[in-house]
Amino acid sequence: MPALTVEENVAWPLEFSGCGRAEVRRRTGSALERVGVTDRDARYPGELSGGEQQRVAIARAIATAPRILLADEPTGNLDSLTGQSILDLLRALNVADGVTVVMVTHNVLAAAYGHRTLELHDGAIVRDVRMPAADGPEITVNKLQ
């Protein structure tokens, strides 16, 4: 939201969830640190690059500790190094915190982070790829017609 600072943008949904001030500050700071924008907390969105704005949006999403995280092109406005760190963060949220991450992307490298990839063509699923667990079975690819 353009009239709120970065910190206020991330804190906003937490304030409605009933968190106390100390908890809002802790979660906000932690989320901003995880996406690497702690030095921008007093800035407004218009003062940030597109990539920084995207990372603030991700921080706002993860600060609420969701069970399901919907990510539409989460690396779209990011340089490759920052994009890699965001993909690593999404994977860590999935593995360590049990967050289900549903990502929509055209980026093949980003899609490879998923345990399961559905490829769509004209609104229909044309391929379903399930990656194995570290100690699991081989990769399964189903081409659907």
Q: What is the CATH number of the domain that holds 99?
A: 3.40.50.300
Q: How many domains does the chain have?
A: 1
**pLDDT-derived band of residue 112, with 50, 70 and 90 as boundaries?**
confident
Neighbours of 122 (CB within 10 A): 5
pTM higher than 0.75, yes or no?
A: yes
Segment 124-135 shows an average pLDDT of 80
- Residue-level pLDDT at 137: 46
Report residue 102: phi and psi, to 5°.
Answer: -110, 115
- Residue-level pLDDT at 78: 85
Is 71 contained in some domain? yes
Output the CA torsion sign for 1, 64, 20, 24. Answer: negative
Q: Which two tokens stand for residue 90?
A: 């999404």
Among 1-10, 34-43, 95-104, 124-133, the range scoring the smallest mean pLDDT is: 124-133
Is 141 contained in some domain? no
**pLDDT-derived band of residue 82, with 50, 70 and 90 as boundaries?**
confident
Is 130 contained in some domain? no
Tell me if 71 sits within 8 A of 104, measured CB to CB: yes
Query: pLDDT tens digits, residue range 7-18?
Result: 999 999 999 888
Write down the H helix ranges in 36-79: 50-63
Is 23 contained in some domain? yes
Is 85 contained in some domain? yes
The three-point CA angle 55-59-62 to 5° equals: 135
Separation in Å, CA 124 to CA 21, 59, 117, 141, 145: 46, 32, 13, 16, 9
Is 83 contained in some domain? yes
Is 140 contained in some domain? no
Domain that holds residue 53: 6-114
Is 142 contained in some domain? no
Query: pLDDT tens digits, residue range 19-71?
Result: 999 999 999 999 999 988 989 889 999 999 888 898 899 999 999 999 999 99
